[in-house]
Chains A and B, each alone.
Chain A
Amino acid sequence: MSASGEPLLVARGIAKRYGEREALRGVDVEAHAGELVAVIGPNGAGKTTLLSILAGAQPASAGTVALGGTAAIGWVPQQPAVYSRLSVAENLELFARLERVADPRGAVVAMLEQTGLRERAHERVQRLSGGNRQRVNVALGLLADPAVLVLDEPSSSLDPRQRERLWRFILGLSERGRGVLFSTHNVAEAERYARRVLVLADGELLFSGTPAALARAAGSDGGLGFEGAFVEFLRERGH
């Protein structure tokens, strides 16, 4: 499904200050239905801060975040935010009830099915592999059936096979009409899966467009590759 219509998520002029330090400066973000948006940038660029503000996990110092219509936003933080001494099903049911999902048990069954965790439903999270733990983390983000899903470096702790399965799942969500924003250090993932990339550096939004447009903006004729073009883009702008 391609991105279309009114944006599901619109953020304008997002700023975040920690004392004297400015973590974000006037960042604008939009996400449409079915759109996959990658947020990339060097360490300390403000990617996690931006996504956590969009997800409502922390307040912005300035700016607004608006969701279209009755759209809800789901959040998958970088570290799996799950109770390791509870089973997969217990975690899902607890958060379904906290999210005030109309049919918590039904939502649990649906999530177990969607994320392929049905066989592991009664296993404690502490005994799961990193990949399965991340699937639980994603499942928790999807419990309330959000229109927009925000994922902070979802594949960072996964091996290549687990990464592949995760991206297949995320692409499926996008195809079913969800807007997906994700941050990543792996720019190849951004090039491969994202329709649009946002480049953040030192809290400033430097670029918003397609991966191909980013390569062109860096003056790359394809010889540098996407990662090389991205590094060149940052270098040219003093980062």
Chain B
Amino acid sequence: MPVIGSAVVGAGRFLYRFIVGDDWRVALVVLIALAGTGVLQGEHISALWLVPLVAIVMTGISLRRSALKGEKA
């Protein structure tokens, strides 16, 4: 059982690193932007600019945060 437990924990960690990565804020805000696009689409408002804009802005914010923390690339 401990082997299965550690395998599940390992798989969970891998998926978290794969999907979310080292800046969860970027993932969260991009997912909110995707949901927002879906809601606007339901109201027949085209918002295909929202996700690219949010993705680019969040990348900049994340780069800035890493720089302020002195993280190595």
Same complex origin of A and B: no
Q: What is B's interface to A at a CB cutoff of 8 Å?
A: none
